[in-house]
Amino acid sequence: MQSNHFCNSVRIQYICAVLLLIMAGIFLTGCGDEVTIPSYDEEVEPAKEVSLFAVVSNLDEVNGKISLKTVDHASEITLEYTGGVDVRDKYGDILSMSQVELGSVVDAVYDENRNKLLSLYISSNENIQVFKEVSGAEIDYLTRTLRLDGKNYRIAENAAAFSDNKEIGLDEICSEDQLTLWLYHDEVCSVFVELGHGYVRLSDYASYLGGMVEIGYDVIVPVTEDMLLTVREGEYTLRIAKGDDVGTKKIEVIKNQEVDISLADLVVEPKQIGSVLFKLTPSDAQVYIDGRRINTEGAVELVYGRHKIYIVAESYDTYSGSLNVNFAYKVMEYKLKKTDEAADSKTKTTQAASTENETTTQTTEAANNSTEQQSDTSSEKQDGVKDVNSVTGTKTANKVTVSGPVGASVYFDGEYLGIAPMSFTKVTGSHIITLSQTGYLSKSYTVTFSDDGKDETLTYDALDLISSLLGYLHRDDSRDGIIKKW
């Protein structure tokens, strides 16, 4: 019994000794220089921050991706972003990413190692100018200039334009569109279309041929056969005046879509006349209202509503604008600016006189309601070139050929010309060519022609099928939070 107790004691001492040796070994091993403790934590690569002065060229809020194109358009990069990105306006106030418009010039910082956006500030660079809610901007594609409020701005060689969350061609912008312009060193570097355009087709118009149709502030044109008008999206009162007859109708223009407006049920307005006394500098300036020269020696009576007005004088710049008559009597003062291009002024005077003759001819033909006379107006030249009745610009001896898309109807400033491929008289200045085809979305392009003695050939991309939109019964436009129906 005593022997067993002794044996157990020895075993316990032996086990304790072994444990002490193991612990000592572990301790000594840990202090050794040649042994390292394994680590299971991966080393975190530090961020490599890169700054970028760029234009926002694409924004995919669903997948959290943004594309930035350097202002000089030398390169473009697509970055991932999260809700934690620091986004601010140029005053330092916090923005959501959905508030950042395409075309915005920004100062961005991103992590090059992870291709992730870290911060995005609307640029406060002193050389940046931003013009919002711009209307009536005229783009001259021959000289690559944009005219705004009487001043010309050069368009950068690689300037980009954006609409409906995608990049578009500059020639897809029409003068009816409302824009945001971004300029760097007085040069247009990007354009964002705030409000685009749709199309208005008139029907039951026979009794109004030769009259004037007015839609909003920008569209004031003579009524012609089969016309298709390009109009800024929105709700308007369409107004038609012919002689003493004036009628109105409420319409809605939807972006990139056609609306057919019947003139058979116009609401007839009571005749309202306002008197205008013109005070002109120089005093011998010639005034044209809706294409007709008027006598300004005394007060001029005009029907209520908007009218196109042109004022020309030799050695002065021509004034072009609209006159809204909504008063019984008013004195209107116009001062023309002097120009050194006297020859150019003479040309403009001749153009205005030509405008008067053409408009008068149109009105007379419409009043006589002669089918034969209407046919003569829209006749083609012997060489198959369609003559246009446009009153803006000067007709040249050359032609413009629209070669495609084949089968599309071609409209020139709203006037129907024929089916592509077709040719028409080349007219100087800036104009809108609209293409329309059954089952397809209509599309407009802005063109600029000069009297350079050359023929022009224009070929455009095929129109988009209307059915291509039918798959989107509802489109969640996260940029404005509106559910849109197609």
Residue 35 confidence (pLDDT) above 60: no
Residue 1 CA, distance from chain mean position? 107
Average pLDDT over residues 113-130: 95
What percent of the chain clears pLDDT 70, i.e. is strictly above it?
77
End-to-end CA distance of the chain: 100
pLDDT of the residue at 479: 40
pLDDT above 90 as % of the chain: 50
Cβ atoms of 98 and 161 closer than 8 Å? no
State phi, psi for 357 to the nearest 5 degrees. Answer: -65, -45
Confidence label for 43 from pLDDT (cuts 50, 70 and 90): low
For the chain, the average pLDDT equals 81
Q: Are 434 and 411 in contact (CB under 8 A)?
A: yes
Question: DSSP state, 380?
Answer: B
Does position 26 have pLDDT exceeding 90, yes or no? Answer: no
Mean pLDDT of 3-31: 57
Cβ 402 vs Cβ 430: under 8 Å: no
Angle subtended at Cα 113 by Cα 112 and Cα 117, rounded to the nearest 5 degrees: 50
pLDDT tens per residue, range 135-172? 988 888 888 999 888 899 999 988 999 998 899 999 99
pLDDT at res. 119: 96
Q: What are the backbone angles phi and psi of residue 359, rounded to the nearest 5°?
A: -65, -40
The confidence band for 343, taking pLDDT boundaries of 50, 70 and 90, is very low
The per-residue pLDDT for 333 is 93
pLDDT tier at 393 (50, 70, 90 boundaries)? confident
Residue 173: left if φ>0, alpha if ψ -120 to 50, beta else—which one?
Answer: beta
DSSP calls for 119-173: EEEE---TTEEEEEEE-S-EEETTTTEEEETTEEEEEEEEEEEEETTEEE-GGG-
What is the model's pLDDT at position 377?
40
Which tens digit of pLDDT belongs to each residue from 247-303? 889 999 999 999 999 988 888 766 678 899 999 999 999 999 988 899 998 899 888
Please give the structure tokens belonging to residue 326: 């909504």
Structure tokens at 428: 């100087």
Q: Which residue has the higher pLDDT, 304 or 94?
A: 94
Judge whether residue 402 has pLDDT over 70.
yes
The burial of 228, by beta-carbon neighbours within 10 Å (0-12 exposed, 13-18 middle, 19 or more buried), is given as buried
Contacts of residues 331-340 at CB distance under 8 Å and 24 or more positions apart, as own/partner, are 331/276, 331/277, 331/279, 332/276, 332/277, 332/278, 332/279, 333/279, 333/280, 333/281, 334/278, 334/279, 334/280, 334/281, 334/285, 335/280, 335/281, 336/280, 336/281, 336/282, 336/285, 336/311, 339/315
